[in-house]
Structure 1
Amino acid sequence: MARPRKPLLSTGRIVETACALVDAEGLGAVSTRRLAAELGVSGPSLYNHFRTKDEILEAVADAVSAQVDLSMFEEGSGTAGDWRGALHDWALSYRAALARHPHIVPVLARGPGRRPAALRLADAVFGAMTTAGWPPAQATSIGAVLRWYVLGAALGSFAGGFVDDARAYDPADYPHLGQAHLLAERGSAVDERAFETGLRALLDGLETQYAALSAEAGRTRD
């Protein structure tokens, strides 16, 4: 009998199938038994690729990290030398990747660990900031605060947390929430505007710090 052109099982197929399960049903849907059934293989065959379910989820998380655009940190990009613009575009790409796969956020929130794509992400941000002249400690803090901000935004929708029933917001109890029932139907626009508002505020604050650092460096040279 001729060998199949494609192997029945591969690391990529396992990760892709696990990611689809997480997207559709959440982290609790992933088990080696369920994955084996979805892939049409026996359970033990998964252990040739991953030792545990946690390893599979780590691989899914890293596959999502690999979707984040890092090109804005590369030489020759439109944001080369513009650390603020690069951070802005990176944060938008990061949020978009997590919006496509919101259920994996709790795994991503553990930190990069040994995940290659996540480490490349951290390396790109830190390298760009230090190249721009930020001290290493500050560059580390910038990477951390932007990561916290994006992950926090990905945990849920602000607008989606309100119901579309005006009766829930009795003006006698909530005199300033008369339009709150409209938030849910406008959720995407509300959340995007809120994210951009917060991101701009963060970057404005960092720009103020950067100007202070530059001024201090100039006084030191003098």
Structure 2
Amino acid sequence: MTIRILIADDEALLRMAFGTVLDAQPDMAPVGEAANGEQAVRLARELRPDVVLMDVRMPGTDGIEATREVVRVSPRSRVLILTTFDLDEYAFAGLHAGASGFLLKNTRPEELLAAIRSVAAGDAVVSPRITRRLLETLRPHIPDGRGGARDDRLGRLSAREREVLVEVGRGLSNAEIAATLYLAEATVKSHLGRVLHKLELRDRIQAVVFAHENRLVHPV
């Protein structure tokens, strides 16, 4: 399968650099470039790319709002937020808007390619280790939900599925969850798949956000 990719960044040199790397891969094809969020949304609607590389800071419609709109107009397109450590609050906002993960702008080419392939296959690109670091950094920006009602979709989960969701929210990998709950890793993966389906979530990252917003995981 050829992964069709839309590149959204206001810096022409970066768009060219990303395009050069992607075009050299036999399983990838850059299908469009956008210099701002509005163009990204329009091209996502027209081209229906598999993956959108989305810069955060762009003129006009920024990458956060553009991500929200891309997910709406092209639900099958997966968005990777491009960010730097000093913009971590934007990374969380992007994940909450529907992105499937985030990449640092100075990521190595092989990491970029691996991330794109993972996202195109339906996985999140943020590893459990990075998830924990992300949560630690972004905890002040995650709504704690105090005083608000929990999402009704929680009632769809079995007790075991809820346990798995809690551990995912803590940033544990499938192997770590298996050891914690005394389950086979394949069983954990199956439970997680059902959790995502029942909660209507896109991927593991969205599950992490959901767990924290519904106070299943408490800051330490």
TM bracket (short chain): under 0.3
More helix by share: 1
Task: Give the greater-gyration-radius structure (CA).
Answer: 1
More strand by share: 2
